[in-house]
């Protein structure tokens, strides 16, 4: 496989067969990070090595659906199907197709999967990253990720010196950097093509998904203050409805946040007086329909993601949530992470929240 790629890629693969360890591949978009990781995976597996592939790209995902960090471990034989058809061993749902605005969750998620990979006793851990390489968020994310990973080697795919700014802080403090050329066969993809790719991946993931109910009474929730405070009774909801000139259908009070779900809009200019009256730092008002189609991570007791879901509705009165999910069994779901992206089961992205 590698014979079709630049000679430097082949030399690096041969070196890795004996050096082993953790390799983090960095590069701008469309520089061949995934192509290199896949080729290395194949070569190393063919040599009988146990190889972990951590897909840390939330948008152009190779393993697992978008909006999710995924880990697959290959033992001894190279995959016989395309990587996107491989079911991940572990997933960590982030709920967005870019790490911007989710730097902490992404960093922690990567670390949890790295621990899993290392505990599995792999010979080589390949970390495929996103093409987010410019700006404060990119610098911060890449810097902290590399600190956490402590890679044996950083591989940089560059046309010129376009990601040197990410490499130098580590190289000058002793991290080994291998600079590889971008293949002249690397193709660039437009924004629309990237979006179409994600749509296809979501559509494939939700193909055959069914609508199911999840009772909320023993489920931990992340990403929304739901289930973190005490539920308000209907008299309080009526009072809030009058104060906000809205129909407040659900309310929950915590020491710091008043979380309200409304139907048909609310007087935003009145929120300040609610804040004063209830003595909270924040009043979060969510429109019921904005919750519809939210992407959800359905997590197990270890807080790893069993599968994704799309929220159809929350029945606040009955304490139930209706989701579309391909997961056949929901008994093991003990946590739901609310994403910040709305999608349709056909894969169309409906917007961010």
Ligand X SMILES: Nc1ncnc2c1ncn2[C@@H]1O[C@H](COP(=O)(O)OP(=O)(O)OP(=O)(O)O)[C@@H](O)[C@H]1O
Given the rule CB under 6 A, which residues bind ligand X? 5, 27, 29-35, 57, 60, 131, 183, 185-187
Task: Say how far apart CA 12 and CA 6 lie, in whole Å.
Answer: 10
How many residues bind to Mg ion according to rule CB under 5 A? Answer: 3
Least CB distance to ligand X at residue 311 (A): 28
User: Among ligand X, Mg ion, none, what does residue 66 contact (CB within 5–8 Å per kind)?
Assistant: none
Residues pairing with 153 in the sheet: 23
* C-beta closer to Mg ion: residue 186 or 327: 186
In the range 196-225, which residues lie near Mg ion by CB under 5 A?
none
Q: Which residues, 6+ apart, have CB-to-CB distance to 102 below 8 Å?
A: 94, 95, 96, 340
Q: Which two tokens stand for residue 204?
A: 């494939």
Q: Identify which of 291, 294, 286 has the alpha carbon closest to the alpha carbon of residue 310.
A: 294
- Please identify the residue of the shown chain whose CB is closest to the bound Mg ion: 34
For 289, phi and psi rounded to 5 degrees? -70, -20
Least CB distance to Mg ion at residue 92 (A): 18
Angle in degrees, CA 93, 335, 312, rounded to 5: 80
* C-beta closer to ligand X: residue 185 or 273: 185
User: Among Mg ion, ligand X, none, what does residue 27 contact (CB within 5–8 Å per kind)?
Assistant: ligand X
* C-beta closer to ligand X: residue 98 or 299: 98
Least CB distance to ligand X at residue 9 (A): 7
User: Among ligand X, Mg ion, none, what does residue 31 contact (CB within 5–8 Å per kind)?
Assistant: ligand X
* C-beta closer to ligand X: residue 4 or 165: 4
* Segment contacting Mg ion by CB under 5 A, of 39-47, 59-67, 233-241, 315-323: 59-67
Least CB distance to ligand X at residue 334 (A): 32
Task: Say how far apart CA 212 and CA 208 lie, in whole Å.
Answer: 13
* C-beta closer to Mg ion: residue 33 or 201: 33
Asked whether the CA dihedral 320, 242, 283, 252 is positive or negative, the reply is: negative
* C-beta closer to Mg ion: residue 33 or 198: 33
Centre a 10 Å sphere on the Cβ of residue 121 and count the other Cβ atoms it contains: 10
Least CB distance to ligand X at residue 60 (A): 4
* C-beta closer to ligand X: residue 39 or 308: 39
What are the strands of the beta sheet with 90-93, ordered from one edge?
90-93, 68-75, 50-55, 124-128, 21-27, 153-158, 177-181
* C-beta closer to ligand X: residue 32 or 309: 32
Task: Say how far apart CA 65 and CA 70 lie, in whole Å.
Answer: 8
70 interacts with Mg ion by CB under 5 A: no
38 interacts with Mg ion by CB under 5 A: no
Least CB distance to ligand X at residue 341 (A): 18
Q: Which residues, 6+ apart, have CB-to-CB distance to 131 below 8 Å?
A: 27, 28, 29, 30, 31, 33, 57, 60
Task: Say how far apart CA 305 and CA 205 lie, in whole Å.
Answer: 14
The answer to whether the CB of 71 falls within 8 A of the CB of 116 is: yes
User: Among ligand X, Mg ion, none, what does residue 64 contact (CB within 5–8 Å per kind)?
Assistant: none
Q: Report CA 305 to chain centroid distance, whole Å.
A: 10
Query: Which of 22, 34, 299, 335 is in the footprint of Mg ion by CB under 5 A?
Result: 34
* C-beta closer to Mg ion: residue 33 or 212: 33
User: Among Mg ion, ligand X, none, what does residue 35 contact (CB within 5–8 Å per kind)?
Assistant: ligand X
Q: Identify which of 329, 345, 68 has the alpha carbon closest to the alpha carbon of residue 208.
A: 345
Least CB distance to Mg ion at residue 59 (A): 9
Least CB distance to Mg ion at residue 127 (A): 12
For the CA atoms of the chain, what is the radius of gyration? 23
The residues that touch Mg ion, with contacts defined as CB under 5 A, are: 33-34, 60
């Amino acid at each position: 496989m590698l014979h079709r790629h630049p000679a430097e890629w082949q030399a690096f693969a041969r070196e890795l067969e004996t050096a082993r360890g953790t390799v983090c591949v960095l590069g701008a978009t469309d520089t061949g990070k995934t192509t290199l990781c896949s080729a290395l995976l194949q070569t190393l597996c063919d040599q009988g090595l146990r190889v972990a592939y951590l897909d840390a790209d939330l948008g152009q995902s190779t393993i697992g659906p978008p909006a999710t960090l995924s880990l697959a471990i290959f033992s001894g034989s190279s995959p016989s199907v395309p990587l996107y058809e491989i079911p991940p061993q572990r997933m960590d749902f982030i709920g967005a197709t870019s790490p911007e605005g989710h730097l902490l969750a992404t960093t922690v998620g990567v670390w949890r999967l790295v621990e899993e990979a290392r505990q599995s006793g792999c010979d080589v851990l390949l970390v495929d990253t996103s093409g987010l390489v410019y700006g404060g968020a990119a610098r911060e994310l890449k810097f902290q990720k590399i600190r956490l990973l402590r890679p044996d080697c950083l591989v940089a795919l560059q046309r010129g010196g376009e990601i040197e700014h990410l490499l130098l802080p580590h190289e000058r403090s002793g991290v080994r950097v291998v600079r590889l050329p971008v293949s002249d066969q690397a193709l660039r993809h437009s924004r629309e093509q990237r979006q179409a790719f994600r749509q296809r991946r979501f559509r494939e993931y939700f193909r055959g998904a069914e609508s199911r109910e999840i009772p909320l009474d023993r489920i931990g929730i992340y990403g929304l203050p739901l289930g973190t405070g005490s539920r308000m009774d209907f008299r309080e909801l009526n009072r809030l409805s009058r104060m906000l000139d809205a129909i407040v259908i659900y309310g929950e009070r915590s020491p710091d946040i008043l979380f309200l779900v409304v139907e048909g809009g609310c007087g935003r200019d009145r929120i300040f007086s609610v804040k004063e009256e209830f003595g909270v730092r924040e009043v979060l008002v969510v429109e019921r329909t904005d919750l519809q189609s939210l992407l959800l991570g359905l997590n197990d007791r270890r807080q790893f993601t069993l599968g994704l879901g799309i929220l159809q509705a929350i029945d606040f009165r009955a304490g139930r949530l209706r989701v579309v999910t391909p997961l056949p069994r929901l008994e093991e779901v003990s946590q739901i992470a609310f994403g910040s992206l709305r999608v349709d089961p056909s894969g169309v992205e409906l917007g961010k929240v």
